[in-house]
Amino acid sequence: MNIPASRLSVAPMMDWTDRHCRYFHRQITQHTLLYTEMVTTGALLHGDVPRHLRFDVSEHPLALQLGGSEPDDLARCARLAETWGYDEVNLNCGCPSERVQRGAFGACLMAEPQLVADCVKAMRDATALPITVKHRIGLDQVESLDMVVEFIKRVSEAGCSHFIVHARNAWLQGLSPKENREIPPLRYEVVYQLKRLFPQLTLVLNGGLKTNEDIQTQLSQVDGVMVGREAYHNPWLMAEWDARFHRQVTREPDREAVEQAMVDYMEREARERGVGWYSIARHMLGLWHGQPGARRWRQVWSDHHLKERSPHEVRARAQAARIGLN
The ranges of the chain with pLDDT < 50 are: 1-2
Whether residues 143 and 267 fall in one domain: no
Task: Round to the nearest angstrom and report the end-to-end CA distance of the chain.
Answer: 49
> Which one of the listed residues 93, 95, 108, 160 is annotated catalytic?
95
Identify whether 250 is part of a domain: no
The neighbour count for residue 144, using CB atoms within 10 Å, is 8
Question: Considering the entire predicted model, what is its pTM?
Answer: 0.95
Q: Are residues 174 and 291 in the same domain?
A: no
Cβ(293)–Cβ(324) below 8 Å: yes
DSSP 11: P
The predicted pLDDT at position 1 comes to 35
Q: Could you tell me if 304 and 279 are in contact, meaning their C-beta atoms sit under 8 angstroms apart?
A: no
Q: At what angle do helices 71-84 and 113-126 cross, to 10 degrees?
A: 40
- Domain for residue 249, yes or no? no
Determine whether 95 is an active site residue. yes
Residue 247 identity: R
Write out pLDDT tens, residues 69-91: 999 999 999 999 999 999 999 99
Do residue 90 and residue 137 come from a single domain? Answer: yes
> Same domain for 172 and 287?
no
Task: Single out the residue in 244, 263, 281 at which a domain terminates.
Answer: 244
Question: 80 and 204, same structural domain?
Answer: yes
- Please give the tally of structural domains in the chain: 2
DSSP secondary structure letter of residue 326: -
d(CA 83, CA 127): 9
Q: Are residues 221 and 268 in the same domain?
A: no
DSSP string, 97-142: -HHHHHTT-GGGGGG-HHHHHHHHHHHHHH-SS-EEEEEEEEETT-
184 with 285, same domain: the answer is: no
Tell me what pLDDT residue 2 has: 46
Q: Are residues 213 and 157 part of one domain?
A: yes
- Of the residues 215, 244, 273, the one at which a domain ends: 244
3-state SS, residue 160: coil
Q: What is the CATH number of the domain that holds 53?
A: 3.20.20.70
Cα 279 off chain centre by: 19
Q: Which domain does 292 fall in, by range?
A: 255-322
